[in-house]
Structure 1
């Protein structure tokens, strides 16, 4: 059964644990599968429209350690390593960690408390693993036309937690396909590059704006300079014309990297935040989203 947050501007649907996602990539607590503005406009879409393809992401879902999982490098084959928001995974062989690979998993224990019609909190309890242990709180709250997702990572083990977190924002406004009617605006003029330049065919970069000449027929992915999100009014702004619908991320975060992924139905700005927590310490950060219409 899904959870709901509701006020006079926003209706937010949040999946029950294991309901919308059962993989070992994304944080399974507090996956936001639906956001509705003014009772009619929708913003969340699945990663893939074809059943059985993709890695199962949907809406606003976070991932920790996409490039390097905590403790993976020094884990022997058959030993456990922690994936925050997921559980204790088993290293199956000598291959490098791959975020899209499925691993055997002992899920973390997570408690859920809906504090009001506008707030819910997920608390994931620590499970010791070779000196690593984390208690994690994820608080989701709405106010007016804004959505707040606050993480608190508490290191209860005796080894440092060094990772990163980003929200894989699977956004598609009112079901409109990606194309000339979408504009992604950034708070500066970035240097853009891609490991697969051929995927950028049909994408135009005009100063601080990104636009699409036509609907992409395959995945696109590009990276950009990281920047200090505390010094700009917002991290990114996605607008659909002519509907005038806008979603922007207002998070005040010093970013460690930044990228954009997408396909013909979805645009996903990805803003990465470095998580460094010494034993006995804690770290908190908040992602803020605003939904509006011109």
Structure 2
């Protein structure tokens, strides 16, 4: 068995080839969800989309391709505990609070990972994250990833089996480029509404519903966008015009925030959902990614 087979789960359709890292094998940090950590997406054996957060080993927080995060700004139970006590990070495990400082998603925390059961067939994999009670917080999470034709679907189901309500947020950090082409004038990011950013990075030109890049960025860029609340079905699409290839993400949930992050080699549209689950209740949502040529 190859090293890739030891560390990854492969899904195939007639057009897509997907690799998903086994929980803890490629990424074992305290920021991202360990389940559904997608490191490779190839369309028609020709177009690749997943890139690392940083091209310099050891820099960044270890993101790669499609990796989601819970609680970037609302850590569950963090303010209730003392240093050296634990708090839950959904999809990851029980994290240890090191000191009296505020939670910061980019910091590295000691992780006691949640137990995960995995079932798979040719085009679908299911991650069942078992609940572990932590100060009254406990969530059973099921994440189902499937491929069909040129579409990748991620379904989330969270059941609150604890005694306290779960209030946090989730988004997917989409570390994308097309065939490793640098971010620059060949890319355009489109939304179904005028973007209306709070601030526009110098490297961007924004007109109506489109974001373009004036040149290859020399450093990280970030902006939040407005206008999405008027949209019934939210989506964004990233096009690389020189190779006439694109990605479209449909968000089948109520949007709470939209942001765009990127740097020299990657752009990441980020669509947020508020997670609010009373004890005994369940919350479900779906993300669909379409990879295409035009």
TM-score (norm 2): 0.95
1:87 aligns with 2:93: yes
Partner of 2:3: none
User: How many angstroms apart in 2 are the aligned matches of 1:67 and 1:108?
Assistant: 21
Mapped to 1, the partners of 2:212 and 2:195 lie a distance apart of 14
Alpha-carbon distance in 2 for matches of 1:38, 1:217: 32
| 1:35–1:42 CA contact under 8 A, matched in 2 | yes
Aligned to 1:31: 37
Q: 1:227 to 1:293 in 2, by over 3 A?
A: same
Runs (4+) of structure 1 exceeding 6 A deviation are none
1:44-193 aligned at under 5 Å gives the runs 44-114=50-120, 116-193=121-198
Please say if residues 150 and 287 of structure 1, whose CA atoms lie closer than 8 Å, have aligned partners that are also in contact.
yes
Tell me how many residue pairs correspond in the alignment: 288
What pairs up with 1:232-251 in 2 under 5 angstroms? 232=233, 234-251=234-251
Contact 2:260 2:267 in 1 (8 A): yes
Are the structure 2 counterparts of residues 111 and 230 from structure 1 closer, same or farther at C-alpha, using a change threshold of 3 Å? farther
Q: CA–CA distance in 1 between the matches of 2:258 and 2:138?
A: 28
C-alpha deviation, 1:226, in angstroms: 6.0
> Per the alignment, do residues 139 and 211 of structure 1 end up closer, same or farther by CA in structure 2, a change over 3 Å counting?
same
What root-mean-square deviation, in Å, do the aligned CA atoms of Structure 1 and Structure 2 show? 1.2
Is 1:271 matched with 2:271?
A: yes
Answer whether contact 1:230 1:252 (CA < 8 A) is retained: no
1:6-63: per-residue Cα shift (whole Å, max 9, x none)?
0111111101111221100000111010100011110110000111111000000000
User: Unaligned 5+ residue runs, structure 1?
Assistant: none
The corresponding residue for 1:262 is: 262
Q: Which stretch of structure 1 is more off in the superposition, 269-278 or 16-25?
A: 16-25
Q: Distance in 1 between matches of 2:281 and 2:80?
A: 23
Q: Give the Cα–Cα distance (whole angstroms) in 2 for the partners of residues 247 and 20 of structure 1.
A: 24
Is 1:12 aligned to residue 13 of structure 2? no
8 Å CA contact retained: 2:14, 2:148: no
CA contact (8 A) 1:240 1:246 kept: yes
Structure 2 residue runs of 5 or longer lacking an equivalent are 1-5
Pairwise CA distance, 1:94:
1.2
Mapped to 1, the partners of 2:161 and 2:227 lie a distance apart of: 30
In the TM superposition, residue 241 of structure 1 has moved relative to its aligned partner by: 1.1
Is the partner of 1:73 in helix, strand or coil?
helix
User: 1: CA distance between counterparts of 2:238 and 2:192?
Assistant: 12
Residue number in structure 2 paired with 1:219? 220
1:114-167 alpha-carbon deviations (Å, 9 max, x no partner) = 1x2110000110110000001101100011111100111110100000011100
Determine helix, strand or coil for the equivalent of 1:242. helix
Query: In structure 1, the residue corresponding to 2:99 is in which secondary structure?
Result: coil
